[in-house]
Structure 1
Amino acid sequence: MGENDSIGLKKGERAAKYSTIANFSLAIIKAVVGVLSGSIALLADAVHSFSDIFASLAVFIGLKLSQRKPDEKFPYGYYKFETLSSLIISVIIIISGIEIAIESINGIITPKPISMPLTAIAVALISVFVSFFLARLKDRVGKEINSPALINDGKHSFVDIFSSFIVFFGILSAYIGYPIFQGFAGFAVAMLIIYIGIKFGKEAVLVLLDANLDPKIVEKIKEIAINFEGVEGAHDIKVRRSGPYVFAELHLETEKRLTIQKANEISEGLEKRIKNVVNDLDNIMIKIEPENKLVVRIAIPVDKDEGLNSIISKHFGKAPYFLITDVNKDNIKNLQIKENPAATIEQKRGLKTVKFLKNEEVNIVLFNGKINEGPSYALSDELISVVKPNGENLKDMLLNAAINDDIL
């Protein structure tokens, strides 16, 4: 977890703390006025606000724990504590919704007039404005730090706006002589709250079960991987979310002759590129698997164009031609003789020959002579093997070279 991540989590922690204080104050006011006025709708809204207190407290605790660094007991960090707190929020939302529904049904069956209606109306209006402010705050901060728990809590506060407005409408209706509307208002709010709770709870459970909730991230990672230099293919890409962060793993297919140094370069470079694109990515595990090629391309330096009757040249960079062919099991196909564009060049002849072979997508060079240090390193960097000729004729040499290189 970097410094920016820590700052973000602390910012979310502050938002959750302010929300808890505001909801606690609002809940006390609504509870007192609800009891004194006898307003079922306002009492139900007070119960709802108390549930918000526990919800905000759960988010606060989750964000606080998420800031802990990984240790021996939790090597992947404490991020899932936030997801767990999000699940707790969902349960609290559902329970409070059921409680409001029960109270509202009682209010419909036995409607009662309320006392202190103007005070109750004023409290309901204050609740609307406070809920709006808290919803905007938590939604904005939650999106900034990519906190699902804080975003969910913010959405819950948006529900509070409508629920408080419906409560206001119910109390106003009771004030003008229709107390039954308090019950209907409360029941409508309860159904909406229960729906939101189930929706958030389902998402939290899926995250805790390491479900992939965003297939687009998998597609994005695969696209980056297969277009990365040195990577032949990518498979078994797995993505899971832990709190506000994403963890991923993938298997890469590469050339079998890949060196450890080159493998590390590919792994580190690919990880950096993926993290630049997937902003929420905390960690990615990359496993490199050598690809078993069915077809291998072999090049042989030759002095004359005589097909499979050509004689292997004693020179690498000076060789005027290269016999290039594909070997598939026991078959030799696509045989062609190509001029070596570097043969007539005075300087860096060997390095330019390597570049020519790379452009021809050669895997193996069949050669028994001496290759200077520079071109030899260049061949190794380009994952081109040099195999000594072994066989009575060129055909046998080609087949043996492929087998001895352990590719087929």
Structure 2
Amino acid sequence: MRDAARLAMRTGAASCIVAAVLVGLKLWAVAETGALSIAASLADSAIDLMVSLGAMTAIIYAQRPADEDHAFGHSSAEDIAALAQAVFIAVSALVIAAAAVMRLLADAPPPLADERQGIAVMTISILMTLALVWWQGHVARRTGNRVIAADRLHYLGDLVPNIGAIVALVAAGPLGLPQIDSVVALAAAVMMLIGAAGIGRGAFDALMDRQADPEVLEGIATLAAAWPGVRGFHDLKSRTAGSRIFINLHLELDGDLSLREAHDIGAGLKRTILLAYPQTDVIIHKDVAEESR
């Protein structure tokens, strides 16, 4: 788990650095071109920077060990951060959509300038975002960290508006169609809203103690059913908090087993579950099987 925590923190730092660089580049590009599609991408990157900083703080806080006030640790901080991300993304999307509609309804949309410089900046932005998204996906799969998964989702969503901004700049220059800029910005806003809904739903479900992924539960059930000495099991319950999954499981054992033998069976199964699902926190109870009573 320590390796996973370090990996998550490094990924959070990488997100902050990439977002800061992109904000600087896009500020310059907006000043040079006046393109609303780049402004939409700039707003998205600015929010990326803000939420990535918040996510980094949440990741660090979530690694704090359990204490008297938080017996199950602090991993729910990841869900709170993810929910905040969803709100910020949704608000920015609405602002961008409103600006795009106003430009579309205007009698004469403002002309764009220096399209080549804008295209160069957006190309750099796409390449940096692709590299970051690939790395975040790798880390999210290894650690199950919900904040990194949410961070990856909205960086992935950045790719389409970035590509759209290039299309808008090309259309506004050689093709003389400045309205495309507003259309691309509006489409980007819609994508941001859809992404925010997905992030928010996942975080809300975790905060409401929704059960773990059915595939995880099925895998744990398969391990328990096949474990030597286990006559059966019941009350397999779970809840999620950030990247952690809390599991409660009742094993049915032979009533004639010694306490040490029963303990060894439970401890062995627990170690196997943790190896298969490192993001879990497992509590196993031992009950006497019906035929042993």
TM-score of the two chains, using structure 2 as the length reference: 0.91
Matched, 1:7 2:3: yes
Question: Does the 8 Å CA contact 1:44/1:103 hold for their aligned counterparts?
Answer: no
Matched, 1:94 2:93: no
2-side partners of 1:10 and 1:216: how far apart? Answer: 26
Equivalence for 2:156: 158
Equivalence for 1:126: 124
Equivalence for 1:284: 282
Question: Does the 8 Å CA contact 1:58/1:86 hold for their aligned counterparts?
Answer: no
Instruction: Measure how far apart 1:36 and its partner are.
Output: 4.5
Instruction: Measure how far apart 1:232 and its partner are.
Output: 2.1
Equivalence for 1:193: 192
Instruction: Flag structure 2 segments of 5+ consecutive residues without an equivalent.
Output: none
Moved more, 216-225 or 204-213: 216-225
Matched, 1:71 2:67: yes
Matched, 1:39 2:48: no
Per-residue CA deviation, residues 107-146 of structure 1 (Å, 9 max, x unaligned), is: 2112221133332222222222222222222222332333
Question: Does the 8 Å CA contact 1:48/1:100 hold for their aligned counterparts?
Answer: no
Question: Does the 8 Å CA contact 1:135/1:156 hold for their aligned counterparts?
Answer: no
Question: Does the 8 Å CA contact 2:212/2:245 hold for their aligned counterparts?
Answer: no
Identity %: 24
1-side partners of 2:61 and 2:193: how far apart? Answer: 28
Q: Return the letter of the residue paired with 1:187.
A: L
Equivalence for 1:234: 233
Question: Does the 8 Å CA contact 1:35/1:43 hold for their aligned counterparts?
Answer: no
Question: Does the 8 Å CA contact 2:40/2:188 hold for their aligned counterparts?
Answer: no
Q: Return the letter of the residue paired with 1:285.
A: I
Matches within 5 A, 1:104-253: 104-110=100-106, 111-176=109-174, 177-253=176-252
RMSD between superposed Cα atoms in Å: 2.0
Q: Which has the higher contact order (CA 8 A, sep 6+)?
A: 2
Question: Does the 8 Å CA contact 1:8/1:145 hold for their aligned counterparts?
Answer: yes
Instruction: Flag structure 1 segments of 5+ consecutive residues without an equivalent.
Output: 294-362, 364-406
1-side partners of 2:30 and 2:70: how far apart? Answer: 46
Moved more, 256-265 or 203-212: 256-265
Matches within 5 A, 1:232-381: 232-281=231-280, 283-293=281-291
TM-score of the two chains, using structure 1 as the length reference: 0.67
Per-residue CA deviation, residues 64-83 of structure 1 (Å, 9 max, x unaligned), is: 11221211121211222122
Q: Return the letter of the residue paired with 1:136.
A: W
**Larger-gyration structure (1/2):** 1
Q: Structure 1 stretches (4+) deviating beyond 4 angstroms?
A: none
Distance change (3 Å), C-alpha of 1:135 and 1:273: closer
For the residue of structure 2 that corresponds to 1:78, the secondary structure is coil
2-side partners of 1:225 and 1:136: how far apart? Answer: 35
Q: Return the letter of the residue paired with 2:18.
A: A
Question: Does the 8 Å CA contact 1:44/1:99 hold for their aligned counterparts?
Answer: no
For the residue of structure 1 that corresponds to 2:283, the secondary structure is strand
Write 1 or 2 for the structure with the bigger share of strand: 1
Instruction: Measure how far apart 1:169 and its partner are.
Output: 0.8
Matches within 5 A, 1:48-59: 48-59=44-55
